[in-house]
Amino acid sequence: MSVETVQVDLGDRTYDILIGGGLVARAGIEISSRLPGARVAIVSDENVAEAHLAPLVASLEESKVGSTSIILPPGEKTKNFDALQKVVDGILAARLERGDAVIALGGGVIGDLAGFASGIVRRGMRFVQIPTSLLAQVDSSVGGKTGINSAHGKNLIGVFHQPQLVLADTQVLDTLPAREFRAGYAEVAKYGLIDRPDFFAWLEDSWREIFAGGPARARAIAQSCRAKADVVARDEFETGDRALLNLGHTFGHALEAATGYDSARLVHGEGVAIGMALAHRFSSRLNLCSMDDALRVEAHLRAVGLPWRIADISGDLPDADRLLGYIAQDKKVTRGALTFILTHGVGKAFIARDVPSSEVVSFLSESLSR
């Protein structure tokens, strides 16, 4: 199977995203050629390790790359201080040095956690992402955002720490549960909704082929990575338009916090899907885009099997005022002013600052009752 390379251009920290089948089996070759002499700590979760750790270790051994493995429980609740300490202690116990590397083998949770650990151990070790979920391949593995959650909100503790390499093996996606693949697809759709209306239209026509695998899936991943790489190259530390990548995330993160990060109720990509639908409907309410645009987004999310309204989340949720409290803890809040990614239509997202909290509470109250 062919491999496509997307480059993240950050000067002397530029790195490649390799996209294609069989890359886990080639990991030893790719890593040893870029990081000669390095030993590695592989961080993974129990589910991913069972499916993919053995071939990765075999590949590393074949290229004479020494490794140690640190295995964590799966799920969003693992992104906490206790798990971070376990990873840090495991790296130090293996006597890895600053020039060695941490490999994140897993989805977004493992990538964020392992990346954070690599960014703080010995004041910064080298880092390789091997994302095993669609969401991680198209979003969280690219761009250097790392971190863990707090009781106060999602991803509030972390650092920017870029990887040296990303290996997006499209074959590992065949082992994903259908729900996890759908959740990752929300991030693919996001890139079309931000500023690529033609890409979103293609997704509306081609999503069945993407779900089935083959060339359409690889194309969707490559297009998504290219879109993110372009933004990261312009705005690595999110001081400007990189914030556009958070379309749907302000609402989505609040809903994740409101469910206590219970993945049985809501996983991250599902929160993003609902958040994107809410962002478009909120934009319509503020007369920024037409209701037709909001309905089009909702229709596509519904067609692929994603949740698209708050009522799709099982169990009780806090009231609008408490949801606003979670939003107020979001990283995109500046000096107490609420910042949202809103839209003038499909593919026309923009950063809206100083959004009145009264409008948000009113909208959330209405959305909770829908």
| pLDDT tens-digit map of 285-327 | 999 999 999 999 999 999 999 999 999 999 999 999 999 999 9
Tokens 């948000």 belong to 360
**What does the alpha-carbon distance between residue 80 and residue 101 come to, in Å, rounded to a whole number?**
21
User: Per-residue b/e over 273-286, b at no fewer than 16 CB within 10 Å?
Assistant: bbbbbbbbbbbbbe
For residue 162, pLDDT beyond 80? yes
**pLDDT confidence of residue 190:** 98
Q: How far is CA 165 from the centre of its chain?
A: 16
Whether 4-175 shares its CATH topology with 178-368 is answered no
Q: Where are the domains of the chain?
A: 4-175, 178-368
Q: How confident is the model at residue 336 (pLDDT cuts 50, 70, 90)?
A: low
Q: What pLDDT sits at residue 117?
A: 98
Task: Report angle CA 190, 191, 192 to the nearest 5 degrees.
Answer: 90
Q: What value does the mean pLDDT take over residues 113-117?
A: 98
The DSSP H or E segment spanning 91 is helix 81-93
Helices (H), 1-53: 27-34, 46-48
Q: Is the pLDDT of residue 174 over 70?
A: yes
Evaluate if residue 65 carries a pLDDT over 90.
yes
How buried is 187 (Cβ within 10 angstroms: 0-12 exposed, 13-18 middle, 19+ buried)? Answer: buried
What is the pLDDT, as a whole number, of residue 331? 55
Q: Once rounded to an integer, what is the mean pLDDT over residues 55-72? A: 98
What is residue 63's predicted lDDT score, i.e. its pLDDT?
A: 98
Question: For the ranges 4-18, 25-39, 149-163, 332-346, which has the lowest average pLDDT?
Answer: 332-346
Query: What pLDDT is attached to residue 354?
Result: 87
Q: Catalytic amino acids?
A: 123, 145, 187, 228, 238, 242, 246, 249, 253, 268
pLDDT bin (cut points 50, 70, 90) of residue 355 is very high
**CB-based contacts of 43, cutoff 8 Å, min separation 6:** 69, 70, 72, 87, 90, 102, 103, 104, 105, 106, 110, 113, 114, 117
pLDDT at 139 over 80: yes
Return the biggest CA–CA distance within the chain: 60
What is the CATH class of 178-368?
Answer: mainly alpha
For the segment 259-294, what is each residue's pLDDT rounded down to a tens digit? 999 999 999 999 999 999 999 999 999 999 999 999
- Phi/psi for 259 (5° steps) reads -90, 5
**CATH topology for the 4-175 domain:** Rossmann fold (3.40.50)
**pLDDT at res. 332:** 57
Residue 179 · residue 232 · CB < 8 Å: no
The helix (run of H) or strand (run of E) holding residue 221 is: helix 215-234
Mean pLDDT for the stretch of residues 195-204: 98
* Percent of the chain scoring above 70 in pLDDT: 98
What mean pLDDT value characterizes the chain?
Answer: 96
pTM of the model: 0.94
pLDDT at 335 over 70: no
Cβ atoms < 10 Å from Cβ of 317:
18
Which residues face 168 on adjacent strands?
19
User: Is pLDDT above 60 for 92?
Assistant: yes
| Cβ atoms of residues 40 and 66 within 8 Å | yes
Residue 154 is given by DSSP the state: E
Please determine, for residue 337, whether its predicted confidence score (pLDDT) is greater than 90: no
pLDDT of residue 1: 62
pLDDT at 192 over 70: yes
Query: Whole-angstrom Cα distance, residue 359 to residue 367?
Result: 12
344 has pLDDT over 70: yes
